[in-house]
Chains A and B, each alone.
Chain A
Amino acid sequence: MQFFGGSEISPSPPAPTASGNNGHMLYVFNRNGICLLYREWNRPLHTLNAQQDHKLMFGLLFSLKSLTAKMDPTSAEKGNLGVPQLPGQGCSFHSFRTNTYKLSFMETPSGIKIILVTHPRTGDLRESLKYIYNLYVEYVVKNPLYTPGSPIRSELFNTTLDQYVRGIA
């Protein structure tokens, strides 16, 4: 996985397609489980309140990573179920699909988790998630007024993000 020395933001994002309504929600978590960003574009159903929803999402991802590391059929050496995995250690999943949504997931070596929930017939969004991570680096990390570990409050980041997600197929 190439995070550094490769993509800049200037190479143009994928051309916008017809429906701009494909993205439902976006979550960004740090390695401690703090939800740095939650964006919602299209969510008719709210099952839980915001706090519980974030915790449930983080818990689901944590357990799924633990599950995939254990179930990996290509590795002979498997740790015990439930042991916290370091970022990059063990097999991790990159997406799952249900009949009503598709969740794409990416974890960076620093433990930042980016989750994008879209329409179930969306293709592979790994490149898009990498692009969103680059946006995060440019607009959030490089902002001298931003404290790592605190929720992101950057209008510029939000606008650029909205624009980009609207253009994803």
Chain B
Amino acid sequence: MAAIYSLYIINKSGGLIYYKDYGSAGRMDTNDTLRVASLWHSMHAISQQLSPVSGCSGIELLQADTFDLHCFQSLTGTKFFAVCEPGTQQIESLLKYIYELYTDYVLKNPFYEIEMPIRCELFDINLTQSVQKDRVALLGQ
């Protein structure tokens, strides 16, 4: 069943501010997730350097043997990327929706310090709800 395996949010300097796992085999410990996030941040930047035409804004989709990685970068440099099953559709719109949730429940939270790890309960609740809804919608198709 097409679904997300995990979700990462990284700030504009490449630091991991949010990580949620939805069912990958083998848990990654915190240090590894931090390393993976900063590695992705650098790869994203390098891919812009290798573009044959100008105006490249970085990797949007990486296709591997056993998973796809979709990345959405906001205008401020915050990156939302999701690891999912190969061929999953509509992850782009899900990532954009998660960006909306981020602006509503994280950025508008007066106690949240920008660029710091996200610890906002409402964000977690709404995120889980939207991912579940997405999963149910896919099951229904």
Q: Which of B42, B50, B55 contacts A47 (CB 8 A)?
A: B50
Assess whether B53 is in contact with A68, with CB atoms less than 8 Å apart: no
> CB-CB contacts of B73-96 with A at 8 A, as 1s and 0s?
000000000010000000000000
Known pairs A53-B50, A63-B43, A72-B66. 20 more at Cβ < 8 A?
A24-B53, A43-B52, A44-B52, A44-B53, A44-B54, A45-B54, A56-B46, A63-B39, A68-B64, A68-B67, A73-B67, A81-B36, A91-B64, A93-B64, A93-B65, A94-B65, A95-B63, A97-B61, A97-B62, A98-B60
Q: Is B47 an interface residue (CB 8 A)?
A: yes
Assess whether B51 is in contact with A72, with CB atoms less than 8 Å apart: no
B residues lining the A interface (CB < 8 Å)? 5-6, 23-26, 28, 32, 35-36, 39-40, 42-43, 46-67, 69, 83
Leading 4 A-B pairs by shortest Cβ distance: A73-B24, A76-B26, A73-B5, A93-B64
Assess whether A78 is in contact with B59, with CB atoms less than 8 Å apart: no
A93 to B47, CA, bound (A): 15
Assess whether B52 is in contact with A71, with CB atoms less than 8 Å apart: no
Q: Which of B36, B59, B61 contacts A71 (CB 8 A)?
A: B36
> CB-CB contacts of A41-54 with B at 8 A, as 1s and 0s?
01111011000010
Assess whether A94 is in contact with B64, with CB atoms less than 8 Å apart: yes
A75 to B67, CA, bound (A): 11
- Chain A residues near B59 (CB-CB < 8 A): 96-98
Q: Which of A67, A95, A100 contacts B53 (CB 8 A)?
A: A100
User: What is the distance, in angstroms, from B3's C-beta to the closest C-beta of chain A?
Assistant: 10
Q: Which of B28, B64, B83 contacts A78 (CB 8 A)?
A: B28
Q: Which of B50, B55, B67 contacts A99 (CB 8 A)?
A: B55
> CB-CB contacts of A82-100 with B at 8 A, as 1s and 0s?
0000000001111111111
Assess whether A72 is in contact with B64, with CB atoms less than 8 Å apart: yes
Assess whether A73 is in contact with B6, with CB atoms less than 8 Å apart: yes
User: What is the distance, in angstroms, from B54's C-beta to the closest C-beta of chain A?
Assistant: 5
Q: Is A70 an interface residue (CB 8 A)?
A: yes
Assess whether B52 is in contact with A101, with CB atoms less than 8 Å apart: yes
A60 to B45, CA, bound (A): 10
A72 to B36, CA, bound (A): 12
Assess whether B47 is in contact with A74, with CB atoms less than 8 Å apart: no
Q: Is A77 an interface residue (CB 8 A)?
A: yes
Q: A42-B52, A78-B26 are in contact. Are A99 and B65 (CB under 8 A)?
A: no
Q: Which residue of chain A has the shortest Cβ distance to B39 in the bound complex?
A: A67
A45 to B26, CA, bound (A): 42
Assess whether A99 is in contact with B60, with CB atoms less than 8 Å apart: yes
Q: Which of A57, A70, A81, A94 contacts B50 (CB 8 A)?
A: A57
A85 to B25, CA, bound (A): 20
Q: Which residue of chain A has the shortest Cβ distance to B44 in the bound complex?
A: A98
